[in-house]
Amino acid sequence: MRTSFEELRAELQPEIDRIVAQYPQRRSALLPLVHLFQDRIGYAPPEVVDYVAETCGVTAAQCESVISFYTLFYRRPIGKYNLQVCRNLSCTLRGAKQVMERFRERLGIDHLQTTDDGLFSYEEVECLAACDRAPCMQVNLRFVYDLTPELVDEMIAAMRAGAYHVKPLAQTEPPPREVRGPAWPRAHRKSAGAVGVPNPDNASGVGDRDGSEAARRLRREGVAALAAPGRFADAQTIDAILAAPNDGAVMEGHG
């Protein structure tokens, strides 16, 4: 089924109205609106730029200028798995270089590139605020901690086999609580270092919340919570949204 931009916009209209109304000036809705569409489409195509510009009362050029300032906004399709590995100091001190080398080697692409099959985008990013679990990374903005080259191999294999699950991206409205299992079978999971405050942050690797929380959420929200629509859940729809296929070319840079 093909979904046009117009249909998507119509679907999102209540949320768009809510976002615009919460600010004293409509231009403030620019970032949230780009997020809203990008979370569904995967990037911000020209239709989104034009629509957001009009809604926020700026020109398309001004809107482009703003979008290009932010590294998390994409003007072209990116891979199904957006791999963002921290290259900053704390991670470097704990072996990020070996991790990054392994990624480049296994994926055959460099910083800010996307594989021809559209499966992976790879980026070396700045401090992700998870230095206690260094080296760390995000997969579609979900954290993965305590990386090792072996873990990289495992992760990529799981992704290629379709056995790696990423939680859908956020919508602006609070998403339903949902149950998450382990993202992929982890053979080498290190335990979190003990910390001075009682266990401040030892809960989450990607999706490996403890069973009790999962059970609690299931209890509260019911199974319906499991069926949240998301970026990758309806890939065909997304592909069709603008009939703007990924030309398969290696992407250089963002924006």
Residues near another protein, by CB under 8 A: 22-25, 27-32, 34-35, 56, 58, 65-66, 69-73, 87-90, 92-94, 111-112, 125-134, 138, 141-143, 169-170, 172-175, 177, 193-204, 213, 216
3-state secondary structure of 92: helix
Closest by CA to 127, choosing from 97, 89, 74, 98, is 89
C-beta of 77 vs 168, nearer to another protein: 168
Of 127 and 240, nearer to another protein (C-beta) is: 127
Q: Which is nearer to another protein, 170 or 226 (CB)?
A: 170
CA distance 153 to 159: 10
In whole angstroms, how close is the CB of 169 to another protein at the nearest point?
7
As measured in angstroms, the least distance from the Cβ of 117 to another protein is 24
CA atoms within 13 Å, Cβ hemisphere of 237: 12
Q: Which is closer to another protein, CB of 46 or CB of 57?
A: 57
Q: What is the CA radius of gyration of the chain?
A: 19
How near is the Cβ of 34 to another protein at its closest, in Å? 7
Q: How many residues does the chain have?
A: 255
- Residue 137's beta-bridge partner residues? 85, 144
